[in-house]
Amino acid sequence: MLKVLGRATSSNVQKVMWVLEELDLAYEREDLGGAFGGLDTPEYIALNPNKVIPTLIDGDQVFWESNTIVRYLAAKHDDGGLWPSDPADRAQADKWMDWQLSTLLMPWINVFFGCYRMPAQYQDAAKNAAAIEKLGKIYGLLDRHLEGRAYVAGDRLTIADIPVGMSLWRYYQMDIARPSMPNIERWYATLQERPAYRNMVMTDFSSLKDTLKPGQGH
């Protein structure tokens, strides 16, 4: 049986859990990381020398890097569905997964950490305002791309939607200013209709609020 190592409140773990639920795959999950600890043990380091989550165990195969795990599960269990079979279609989906890491992730982290995870007395209002504005502009690129598209890579859910779609729940739950993005809002509403998204991504993350100390996370 598939086994996922990582706490449920981790956004990277949620990518993997969303795919597992979307594909109705049997799995077990073990809480590790954050308040649960366990990432510095010799046993875990042998599986994931980066000491981060998630880690996926599939028989004698071990995988880390959340986007890689998403690709693996989709390729193995949903070729032609989440995993586009045509190389060009797959590359169109794949580039948005890379975009989530190369372009969206750090601005998203800066806002989530700076405005939510950092206690109010330590927050830098000017820095947060700049980070919020920058993140809104980056999401604006995706909003323009979604014009005329039901999902990120076309007319159905693919691997392209998972990493970026995961980010929206926390973005829209934070008490921050957001630009009008009608195409993202339409797509986000569509994602919220999917049981796997509701169950695995639209979850309570309040345990992460005010948990950082000055100097952490930036």
Instruction: Report pLDDT digits (tens) over 117-171.
Output: 999 999 999 999 999 999 999 999 999 999 999 999 999 999 999 999 999 999 9
Contacts for 114 with CB less than 8 Å, ≥ 6 apart = 123, 124, 127, 128, 131, 217, 218
**Considering Cα of 92, then 96, then 101, then 103, what sign does the dihedral take?**
positive
Both tokens assigned to 41: 């043990």
Question: Which pTM was predicted?
Answer: 0.95
The domains located in the chain, with CATH, are: 2-77 (3.40.30.10), 87-208 (1.20.1050.10)
pLDDT digits (tens, 9 = 90+) for 4-59: 999 999 999 999 999 999 999 999 999 999 999 999 999 999 999 999 999 999 99
Structure tokens at 121: 């007395």
> 56-75 in b/e burial notation, b at 16+ Cβ within 10 A?
bbeeeeebbbbbebbbbbbe
Question: Residue 8: what residue type?
Answer: A
pLDDT of residue 94: 97
Q: Are 176 and 132 in contact (CB under 8 A)?
A: yes
Nearest-10 Cα torsion for 173, 51, 48, 112: 20
Q: Rounded to whole angstroms, how far apart are CA atoms 206 and 173? A: 10
Residues near 180 by Cβ (< 8 Å), separated by ≥ 6?
none
Question: With bands split at pLDDT 50, 70 and 90, how would you rate the model's confidence at 218?
Answer: very low
Range 102-123 average pLDDT: 97
From CA 95, how far away is CA 82, in angstroms rounded? 14
